[in-house]
Structure 1
């Protein structure tokens, strides 16, 4: 049979874990310089452009058909 767990403790442990992950993400975001943030944004935009360029059909073609 499965282990018996205290749901209140499990909920609080999950909440602490989620808060820890959110804090880590905030530390990474705020710990970077403006140039690094702009560079990351530019790389993401370039990746999005490449992905869109490799699509077989665009939404414009579907609307025309």
Structure 2
């Protein structure tokens, strides 16, 4: 006879993995210091100005 499988266990395990992945993403996004946020903003601005300076006029 076959083993009885509890599908709730698999559903809960899948949901737990999804919640853990979301928590990791939130830690990376919100768990930064003010200096890190400012450095990232300055880096994005520097990259944007470098990209604008590299555009060719047509």
Based on CA coordinates, which of the two structures has the bigger radius of gyration?
A: 2
Distance 1:51 1:22, change over 3 A: farther
TM-score by length of 1: 0.52
**Runs of 5+ consecutive residues of structure 2 not aligned to the other structure:** 1-13
- Alignment of 1:44 onto 2:25: no
Distance 1:51 1:31, change over 3 A: same
